[in-house]
Amino acid sequence: MASLKIIKKRITSVKSTQKITRAMKLVSAAKLRRASEKAHSSRPFEEELKSMVSTILNEIEWSSPLTMARPVKKMAAIICATDRGLCGSLNANNFKAALRILNQKRASGIEVEVVALGKKAGEFFRKNGFKIKSVTTDLARKASHTLISSVASEVRKEFLSGNFDQVDVFYCRFQSALVQKPSTFTLLPFVPPKSEEKKSFIYEPEAPELLNQLVPMLLDFQLYRVVLEMIACEHGARMAAMESATKNSKDMIERLTLQRNRARQAAITKELMEIIGGAEAISA
């Protein structure tokens, strides 16, 4: 059994850790509400953009370099992750799903480059032998539509120039504070959404020119929505992880307190036995 002094130090250390985990849980809980509202409110806007595009495509034939599919020799994987840890298995689950797909791509002879949105994504895939095209960090604090649009614009330029034949996005979709689902979709080439709804509109400017503006806007916002989803997932996962850590530290404190009491009782018993033994020796 550890000495009484060591047990007391452990209790003090665990209590200090518990204060930190409790504070982190409260901070993440406060940030989660705002982040989840942004993530949920971004979905209807994206769906409305898709609806507008599909409605126009029901009336005209439209083609663009962004929709041209070609044999895939080189692809970009946009991996959305966090900058910091302490968020449970969020990044691990996302990376595991992405790594399985990307390894299959590489095994079939496709060259893969990673566009990392989040420090952890860059670190993980660099260690696993992937070429890192770029790393964008500090998204939880400074993520904006302008910043993400610049990333999406660079990816589009690479696709249009033929440097990439396909662009896939890997992220975690926010469902609740306890559920974050690894997801993926193909950003480029753009697959026009289909709709059976028939409407008649007068367009200004002309429909093809309008689509040339709407489609890049939709692609930019899809990537922005992914980042908002990931930020909400990060706060939800961190809140759950810190709540679990706080609970575990409480259980550990109880166990250490019990050990301390037993050690103290053993020490007192030993002293009493020594006193009784000394008294008997004197009286004899």
Q: For the segment 191-223, what is each residue's pLDDT rounded down to a tens digit?
A: 887 766 666 667 777 888 888 899 999 999 999
Give buried/exposed letters for 80-100 (b at 16+ CB in 10 A, else e).
bbbbeeebbebbeebbebbbe
pLDDT of residue 196: 66
Rounded CA Rg of the chain: 28
111 burial type by CB count under 10 A (0-12 exposed, 13-18 middle, 19+ buried): middle
pLDDT of residue 56: 84
Q: Output 85 or 203, whichever has higher pLDDT.
A: 85
Which residues touch 83 (CB under 8 Å, ≥6 apart)?
Answer: 118, 119, 120, 137, 138, 139, 140
pLDDT, tens digit, 9 for 90 and up, residues 4-54 = 888 889 999 999 999 999 999 999 999 999 999 999 999 999 998 888 888
Prior bond of 205 cis (ω within 30°): yes
Residue type at position 164: F
Q: Is 80 exceeded by the pLDDT of residue 63?
A: yes
Quick one: average pLDDT of 216-240? 94
Which residues touch 183 (CB under 8 Å, ≥6 apart)?
Answer: 170, 171, 172, 173
Quick one: average pLDDT of 104-121? 95
Strand order from edge to edge, sheet including 131-136:
131-136, 111-117, 74-80, 166-174, 180-188
pLDDT of residue 284: 64
In order of start, what are the domains of the chain with their CATH numbers?
4-24+244-283 (1.10.287.80), 26-239 (3.40.1380.10)
Q: Output 59 or 70, whichever has higher pLDDT.
A: 70
**In angstroms, rounded to a whole number, what is the distance separating the alpha carbons of residues 173 and 185?**
11
193 burial type by CB count under 10 A (0-12 exposed, 13-18 middle, 19+ buried): middle
- Go through the chain and tell me how many residues it has: 284
Q: Hey, which residues are catalytic here?
A: 87
Q: Output 176 or 277, whichever has higher pLDDT.
A: 176
User: Given the DSSP bridges, would you call strands 166-174 and 131-136 parallel, antiparallel or unpaired?
Assistant: unpaired
pLDDT of residue 142: 84
pLDDT, tens digit, 9 for 90 and up, residues 120-146 = 999 999 999 999 999 999 888 888 889
Q: Is 60 exceeded by the pLDDT of residue 253?
A: yes
